[in-house]
Amino acid sequence: MEKLTYKNDEQLNNDAVKMLIKNHLAWSGSDKSMPSADPDNVRGKFFEALLMANFTVDEWNALPDEGRKEYSNKVARKFDKAAAEADRKWKAVKVMLDL
């Protein structure tokens, strides 16, 4: 390991923060794939949360297939928009951390 020299405490703190974040991302595997890869089925949880907020079980079951498909497509578009934004921010963090 090379000898580290710092001009001030702020530089030391910034470098420590950067190292901690880089190590955490590497430990969790989050440095390898974008958030939209969805390994924890966030899409499904997102859909379920919106479904429960907007419909009772009986209301959902009463919807015709076309209504369910339309709602599902609407939720998918919302999730895709959020996932795209998360990916853009993830890429920015990787650039910031030199990953």
User: At residue 79, what are phi and psi to the nearest 5 degrees?
Assistant: -65, -45
Domain contains 36: no
Judged by phi (left if over 0) then psi (alpha if -120 to 50, else beta), residue 46 lies in: alpha
What pTM did the predictor assign?
0.67
Please identify which residue in the block is written with the tokens 């999730």. Answer: 79
For residue 6, pLDDT over 80 is answered with: no
- Domain of 89 in residue numbering reads as 43-99
Domain contains 86: yes
Domain contains 22: no
Distance, first Cα to last Cα, the chain: 19
Band the pLDDT of 15: cuts 50, 70, 90.
confident
For residue 1, pLDDT over 70 is answered with: no
Mean per-residue pLDDT of the chain: 84
Domain contains 71: yes
For residue 36, pLDDT over 70 is answered with: yes
Domain contains 81: yes
Percent over 70 (pLDDT), the chain: 91
Q: State the total domains in the chain.
A: 1
